[in-house]
Amino acid sequence: MEPKEIYRSLIRLHILFDAAKGPIDSGAVAGKLHDRGFIANPASVRQTLRTLESKGYLVSNEVRKSQARRMYSITPAGRLRARDAKKKIGDLIEMFGSQGA
């Protein structure tokens, strides 16, 4: 598996986990990803958000303040996927921990 595939999966998971905490937008997500060492521009984050929305994991609405922006919220299906992924990640970390580095 290519590192890019792994990073894309981690970014999708990050987005779901972040959306589980509250509404998100592409700019804020791109900033958080950058702070964690991922390279993701707002355009690629927007594409990922739209993909997760088309799968039914997120729902969006347009918010108008000084400038219109699209906010995304997690759906029940997205919350279920995030919980399932979190458990599987925990299981993997436990497995790796028991094997040593």
- Domain of 66: which CATH number? 1.10.10.10
Helices (H) and strands (E) in the chain, counts: 4, 2
For residue 76, the enclosing domain spans 3-99
5-26 pLDDT, tens per residue?
Answer: 888 898 999 999 999 999 999 9
- Which residue type does 28 have? A
Q: What would the DSSP string read from start to end of 37-78?
A: T----HHHHHHHHHHHHHTTSEEEEEEESSSEEEEEEE-HHH
Count of domains forming the chain: 1
21-52 pLDDT, tens per residue?
Answer: 999 999 899 999 999 888 888 889 999 999 99
